[in-house]
Every structure is written in structure tokens, then in C-alpha cells.
Amino acid sequence: MTAPRTLFRKVWDAHVVRELGDGAVLLYIDRHLVNEVTSPQAFEGLRAAGRTVRSPVNTLAVADHNVPTDNRAAGVAGIAEAESRIQVETLEANVAKFGVPYVPLLSKQQGIVHIIGPELGLTLPGSTIVCGDSHTSTHGAFGALAFGIGTSEVEHVLATQTLVQQPARAMLVRVDGRLGAGVTAKDLILAIIGRIGTAGATGHVIEYAGEAVTALSMSGRMTLCNMSIEAGARAGMIAPDAKTYAWLEGRPHAPKGAAFAAARAWWETLHSDPGAQFDRTVEIDAGAIAPMVTWGTSPEAVTTVDGTVPDPAAIDDPAIRGQCAAMLDYMGLSAGARLAGLPIDMVFIGSCTNGRLEDLRSAAAVVGTRRVADGVRALVVPGSGEVKAAAEAEGLDRVFIDAGFEWRDAGCSMCLGMNPDKLAPGQRCASTSNRNFEGRQGPRGRTHLMSPAMAAAAALSGRIVDCREFA
């Protein structure tokens, strides 16, 4: 009889190649996703040392960060900025030289790496998944152990298909009750981060459980796990269930027939055993959560849409007070200001956090036959070519275009300032992305993180507004 184990521990144990002493292990990596930004120096390292990619079959590359989200027909040559184009060309040269499978820019399957992995059925329960991108935690929604790594580790995985890993602690976030109407997975994760802080889960792998988590769709579960990194976690995971299996069955690279049944039999063992020990447990009441909006330059600087920004004068600690005042100054907000009613310049609906079909449906449902407010520029950027095609098949593109939104091609877009989609200095954006850091969406840009329904409502109103008013 083995001791009760957590979901995290089961997946970890199944991938230990050998112990390295002092708790460190060599961990086997099932799936390595590679992008154009964090891989050039890794391939360069391989070349310099005369090494090869050990297991191309476990590897998939795609360009997403630098790619423009319009004029896609021009392909890589159509990337106007030379440095961005060189990064994508470098990726293409590297995958050709090292024999790594690649989704080309012009493929219908191209998209944000964390959207296409699941979509292609390459993200499977119980697997270990890494990528040189912190939002790799997204894939934990399937019960995978998935985490972001640096470029040195990208090189290590390319060369050895393993990583040297230190043990992590286990944290349970249990969300009881149900989310109310108009309250989404995005609001839930923002509320969790607001509660535990951006360093709240440092050193931990979070397992999300409870009625409200089980009730989420796979899309919502991906949103939840995606922002685990914004709580400082090494990874976020959700135990697979019938919803997970139904979502995966029939995906291009998911197992088929008898292989699916065999896989499912193992997947069904992937849950935390009764009595499994967590180092920390956080309990959240789903029913108490309202639509959330960030007001500062850290995701923990968040409150409900009917809330107000803090008054630095009321903070005792001088360092915290100074930092709060600096955030308000950067964001152009006065102490104690109400968030609802704040005018916005831009709206961004997309990213690995909220660029899936369900997110676009949720935004479109708010839009209906209304129009984007005068003076507001609003972008809808599907997370992948497949998401774009599926949305067009059900007419969502018409809803957005008729309302005055720009309907774009797949990529990371305005989540980070690496491609032409950027904020101008001082512009205020209602964004469905994951980070409100200073300059994240463009130098001096101001980001308010929120759900797709909230961002759509902001686009229509020209101001931050409770999306439930549009129900």
C-alpha cells in the first residue's frame, strides 16, 4: 500500500529518470514547445557544442510572439520589422537544421503555442510539458505538469529531453460553490491572485479543485491554470475528468480507439488520493466573486468592478505606500477613484489567457448588435487559426466587424509589445491578457486586466463597466 499522493506527485513520480541527490531529480519531458523568442540562443548553444536534438518527436515549434496579426498572406517576408522577421527566420532555419516539427506561419493550425498544443491533442493528461514561456502553466488544465523554463533549460531539454528539477511544494486551491452569471474563470483567477498575492504560490504547484472548478469548461480551466504564474506558482493543475476526455477525443494527435481507452484508464488514476497532504490549502467562495478589474501594475492590484483604487495615504508601511502611489501615478489614477466609469482608449480581446472560441463567444454575446464607442479602438485576436475558422463558421466575425472591432489573425498580439499591436504612451486599455506590468503592452501604456465579457462591455461603453449591465 503506497502513501496517498497528490495529482502533482503522481505525474512527477511517473517521469523521474533518476535521483540526483539533495532532493533534485532528472525529470523526463514528454512535450517541448518551442517559440521564436526564447529559442535562438538555445539552438546556438547546441550548434556551438556540436549537439543534436535528442527527440524531435517530442518537440513542436511555432512562431507566435513576433508575428503581425494582419497581412498574413505575405508570410514571414511580410513581417515589416527586421528584428522580428529575423527571429522568425532564425526559428525556421533552426527547425530545418535540427529536424524539429514546425507549424508554419501560413498554416491554419498556427497560433499561440498554449492554444494550439491542446487544440492539436498534443497536450495530454499526466504528461510533462515545458516551453520557454511562463504561461506554459495553461496546459495544467488537462492534468499535465506544465511549466515555463528559461533558454538554458530549453537547450537542456533539446539536448537531453530531460530537466534537472528541485522538488516543489503542493498547494490546494479549493473553490466551493458556483460562479454567478457574468463571472468567469478570468475573474476567479484574478480573485485568487488578489487574495494570495503575486508571490503567494512561489515554490508551489497549485492544484485547483472544488465545485466551481469542476463546473468550468476546458476553456475556463485553461484560463485558470494559465495565470497560475501570476500567483508565483511553478505550475497549476486540475485533475482530468469526463469533460477532459470528451474534449480530447478526436483531436488530431490525441490517441485513437483502443489507444484512447488505454490512455483513459491511466488518466482516471490521475487525481489526488483521499488523505494526500498539501503543504498549504486556500479556500475560495465562488459565490462571493464579482467581475474583477486590475487597477495597478501588478496582477495582485485588483478589485471588483464596483470597487475603488486604494488611497496610499491609508497605508502605514512607507515602502508599500510609495509603491502604491507610484502605481497610481503610472496608471493615471487618483487615490480612491472608482474603476467603473473610467474612460478607455483601447480594447484587446485575445492572448493565451482568453483567446479561445469560448472567450470570443462570451465577448460576442455582450456585443450583440451594439457598436464600439466612438474614439475606442478594439481588437479581437483569435488565439489560433483554428479558433479563427471556428468563430467565422458561427458568424462571430460578423458580430465583431459589424460592431466596429478589428478582426485579426492569430498571435500573441497586444499581450506584449513585441509585434505591431501596441499601446501608445498614456493609452488606457481594457485587456483580456495576463499582465498589467509597466510597459507590457507598449512603453507607458496602461493596462486593466479583465474578462472577455468585461472587455467587450468596455468597448461598447468606452468606459470600464460591469458586463452584467449588458445581460
Partner 1 sequence: MQPFAKLDAIAAPLPLENVDTDKILAAQFLKTVHRAGLGKALFAALRQDPDFVLNRSPWDRAGILVAGANFGCGSSREHAPWALLDFGIRCVIAPGIADIFYNNCFKNGILPIRLPGEEVTTLMTLASDPATAPMVVDLKAQTVTAAGCAFHFDVDAKRKNDLLNGIDEIAETLKYTPDIDRHEAMAQSQRPWMRTAYS
Could you say which of 70, 78, 92, 134 contacts partner 1 (CB under 8 A)?
A: 134
Site for partner 1 in 180-199 (CB under 8 A): 197-199
Could you say which of 87, 226, 304, 432 contacts partner 1 (CB under 8 A)?
A: 87
Phi, psi for 317 (deg, rounded to 5): -65, 120
Nearer to partner 1, 129 or 363 (CB): 129
Nearer to partner 1, 314 or 471 (CB): 314
Q: Which helix (H) or strand (E) holds 130?
A: strand 128-131
Q: How far is the CB of 76 from partner 1 (least distance, A)?
A: 14
Nearer to partner 1, 181 or 258 (CB): 258
Could you say which of 47, 80, 178, 202 contacts partner 1 (CB under 8 A)?
A: 202
Q: Which helix (H) or strand (E) holds 174?
A: strand 169-176
126 near partner 1 (CB under 8 A):
yes
Site for partner 1 in 263-322 (CB under 8 A): 263, 266, 298, 300, 319-320
- Helix, strand, or coil here: 67? coil
Could you say which of 124, 171, 410, 450 contacts partner 1 (CB under 8 A)?
A: 124
Residue type, position 358, single letter: E
* Exposed/middle/buried for residue 54 (C-beta within 10 Å: 0-12, 13-18, 19+): middle
- DSSP for 214-268, please give it: HTS-HHHHHHHHHGGGGGT-SEEE----HHHHHHHTT-TTS--HHHHHHHHHHHT
Q: How far is the CB of 159 from partner 1 (least distance, A)?
A: 5
Distance CA 145, CA 8 (A): 7
Cα dihedral 324, 328, 330, 333 in deg (nearest 10): 180
Query: Interacting stretch for partner 1, rule CB under 8 A, among 5-13, 79-87, 183-191, 283-291?
Result: 79-87
Nearer to partner 1, 86 or 340 (CB): 86
Q: How far is the CB of 30 from partner 1 (least distance, A)?
A: 5
86 near partner 1 (CB under 8 A):
yes
Nearer to partner 1, 130 or 467 (CB): 130
Q: Where are the beta strands (DSSP E) in 200-266?
A: 204-209, 235-237
Q: How far is the CB of 246 from partner 1 (least distance, A)?
A: 17
Distance CA 248, CA 115 (A): 13
Could you say which of 69, 162, 413, 433 contacts partner 1 (CB under 8 A)?
A: 162
Contact track, partner 1, 23-62, x by CB under 8 A: xx-x-x-xx-----xx-xx--x----x-x--xxxxx-x--
Distance CA 240, CA 245 (A): 7
Residue type, position 283, single letter: E
Could you say which of 140, 148, 291, 382 contacts partner 1 (CB under 8 A)?
A: 148
Distance CA 112, CA 100 (A): 18
Cell of 125: 493528461
- By C-alpha distance, which of 155, 125, 227 is closest to 186? 227
Could you say which of 281, 437, 469, 471 contacts partner 1 (CB under 8 A)?
A: 437
Site for partner 1 in 203-262 (CB under 8 A): 203, 229-230, 232, 234, 253-255, 259-260, 262
- Site size for partner 1 (CB under 8 A): 90
Q: How far is CA 99 from CA 53, 59, 93, 347, in A?
A: 8, 10, 10, 39
421 near partner 1 (CB under 8 A):
no
Distance CA 271, CA 320 (A): 40
74 near partner 1 (CB under 8 A):
no
